[in-house]
Chain A
Amino acid sequence: MTNKKYVLGVFDDEEVLLHAIPNVRAAGTKIHECYTPFPIHGIDDAMGIERSRLPIAAFFLGCCGLAFALWLQIYTLGYDWPMIIGGKPNIALPAFIPVSFELTVFFTAHGMVLTFLIISGLYPKTNTQVMDPRSTDDKFIMAIEVKEGKTDMVQLSDLLRTNGAVEVNEKEVVS
């Protein structure tokens, strides 16, 4: 168990936070994370967050769903137990379109949501570490990790305040 200490810049407005991010980064400070009540356009670029590769995952999951659906229908009706239904061919591809489509969507949607939850570490838990409970209401929080002996607290606090933070707090997080 190591405790990590963070300095939290509390902002009142998303645009102020958005302007503050490049200034803080330009001053050589590494931003740990920003916590906001809603998604902010342009924050990814400002913080240098890479574009998510989830769409690629979604595409491959969709392909898996399509392949599974086609295999299931062709194998069961064409090979394992062929039946004559209304005189149609055993492998009647046009009739397989609806189920193939539905399973493609099923795999894409559920697979992608599961991937998102897993890579983001989201699962039902009661011990969530919240930096500042107001960050899910109306405050925009910028968290900067404090390195013992390296971080100049006064200078950091000044930097945040000059860039529009209305409060500067400290928070210790058990990790």
Chain B
Amino acid sequence: MQHVSPIREPLVTGGKTYHDITQDIARHVESKPNMRWAAALAVSLFFLGIFLWSVYRTLWYGIGEWGLNKTVGWAWDITNFVWWVGIGHAGTLISAILLLFRQKWRSSINRAAEAMTIFAVICAAMFPVLHMGRPWLAYWVLPLPNAFGSLWANFNSPLLWDVFAISTYFSVSLVFWYIGLVPDFATIRDRAKGPIAKTVYGLLSLGWVGSAKHWSRYETVSLILAGVSTPLVLSVHTIVSMDFATSVIPGWHTTIFPPYFVAGAIFSGFAMVLTLMIITRKTFVLEDYITLEHIESMNKVIILTGSIVGVAYITEFFIAWYSGVEYEQYAFINRATGPYWWAYWSMMTCNVITPQLFWFRSIRRSLTATFIISIFVNIGMWFERFVIIVTSLHRDYLPSSWAMFSPTIIDIGIYVGTLGLFFTLFLLFAKYFPVINMFEVKTILKSSSGVTHAPGTSMHANAPHPVMQVTDSNHTNHPKHD
């Protein structure tokens, strides 16, 4: 058996048994949707409507509906694309990298975080596809034999690398997430009463019965998927950053971009995970599974990656001066003091200053403070991409072509609309799929529930009374076994 340090806080509180875990999580799938959920879905669907309307305008009238001009050819679309892809990274970090590092606290948040990854990447993919103007020709980016004398795709282009990176990332994350869901679908199938639930969850569970042989292979598959997903997630944002870094635009042409983008992606992703988790634990009464310990661990990741991002901003600025290249220097001075100074200082405030509040334990463990700061980080990271993209483009080498960018209602509609798409998908997931990985939480229950189990005694309410102590004096929930 493994040693459990007495100073470790429990990851599952409330003296749960295996059956309690099944009950607590499967209950939301089995019960009728409540009013709060329905109201949230209605709001999300309204925003999804805005999305569909804006997409219709973009496709029917063309890219002219957007605020782009000859100088600023990339703006909101790519800002939103990078923002959404970045958000996705936290899910893979939690499901893959923290699995390799054997961080047990990932167990109760990995399912929802991975769902967030998948939905965020779906939202991200909308932008480059719509920016094509003729999305029905999107297959032209693939290296397919074609009627133009087999003119193939250009494999030297970072934009094509992105096509491969994002599609691999999306499909591998989807499979990883689904494989994780299979045993939990089987649990719901075996509890299902109605014929529709039995059939649907029966099909989804792929006939899983939890035999020892299957579990053995299953663990191997999970480990290898985590092993390949880890470099994959790092490669995705590296390649996204190369969309900029391999160009010769001052402000983009920097070698620091790949690590800086990856850190920023994890930073923004964790902020989004926190935003979602704080709402989810409250709505679905999951305080025993997503504890303050989880929130605090995520806040620690935020402060680390937020500080990396802060150092990157300062390094970028220093190197622009140190390089002696006047165009590079101008690009950075223009960022901080030019017409887009407000975007730059919003980014600095939200990304560099506010997360530093997490050095205080009381703030790390405060739900309200965490929620507010997580929103700040989401905003700050959006501005980071806006600053990098728009301020570098709007004043180029030729002052006569300098221009400003302002979004049209359609630009705003597509962005706000993807939020509607994201929350619609997330709400459907939260209602019809087990929002916490039940089987994985069961594996950590004995070592991390704060309840000492005498060897060989059972985790069941009806079993002979086991010796139990509550090791954490802070927690107010008493074991239900009594």
The chain B residue sitting closest to A97, CB to CB, is B161
Q: Does A126 contact B (CB under 8 A)?
A: yes
Q: How far is the CA of A71 from the CA of B460 in the complex (A)?
A: 58
Is B190 a contact partner of A137 (Cβ separation < 8 A)? yes
Partner of A130, one of B168, B182, B209: B209
Partner of B224, one of A34, A37, A108, A122: A108
Q: How far is the CA of A120 from the CA of B182 in the complex (A)?
A: 13
Which of B19, B152, B158 has the largest count of A CB atoms less than 10 A from its CB? B152
Partner of A81, one of B152, B172, B212: B152
Partner of A136, one of B150, B190, B225: B190
Q: Does A40 contact B (CB under 8 A)?
A: yes
Minimum Cβ distance to chain A for residue B97 (Å):
15
Is A13 a contact partner of B216 (Cβ separation < 8 A)? no
Which residues in chain B, 150-188, are within 8 Å of chain A measured between CB atoms?
150-156, 158, 160-161, 164-165, 167-168, 171-172, 175-176, 179, 182-183, 186-187
Which residues in chain A, 38-64, are within 8 Å of chain B measured between CB atoms?
38-40, 43-44, 47, 49, 52, 54-55, 58, 62
Q: Does B206 contact A (CB under 8 A)?
A: yes
Q: How far is the CA of A86 from the CA of B242 in the complex (A)?
A: 17
Q: How far is the CA of A76 from the CA of B457 in the complex (A)?
A: 64
Minimum Cβ distance to chain B for residue A123 (Å):
6
Minimum Cβ distance to chain B for residue A122 (Å):
4
Q: How far is the CA of A7 from the CA of B20 in the complex (A)?
A: 27
Contacts of A28 in B (CB 8 A): none
Q: Kindly specify which of B47-55, B63-71, B376-384, B437-445 makes contact with the partner chain.
A: B437-445
Q: A85-B156, A136-B186 are in contact. Are A120 and B214 (CB under 8 A)?
A: yes
Is A99 a contact partner of B164 (Cβ separation < 8 A)? yes
Q: How far is the CA of A129 from the CA of B210 in the complex (A)?
A: 12
Q: How far is the CA of A47 from the CA of B219 in the complex (A)?
A: 16
A interface size (C-beta, 8 A): 69
Is A113 a contact partner of B456 (Cβ separation < 8 A)? no
Partner of B175, one of A40, A113, A131: A113
Q: What residues of chain B have their CB less than 8 Å away from a CB belonging to chain A?
A: 17-19, 22, 143, 149-156, 158, 160-161, 164-165, 167-168, 171-172, 175-176, 179, 182-183, 186-187, 189-191, 198-199, 202-221, 224-225, 228-229, 231-232, 235, 239, 242, 439-440, 442-443, 455-460, 463
List 8 tightest A-B contacts by C-beta distance, closest first.
Answer: A138-B18, A76-B152, A133-B190, A12-B458, A98-B161, A39-B215, A122-B206, A38-B439
Given contacts A19-B456, A39-B219, A99-B164, 20 further A-B contacts (CB under 8 A): A12-B458, A12-B463, A16-B458, A40-B212, A49-B216, A81-B150, A81-B151, A98-B161, A98-B165, A108-B228, A109-B171, A110-B172, A121-B207, A131-B209, A135-B209, A136-B209, A138-B17, A138-B442, A138-B460, A166-B463
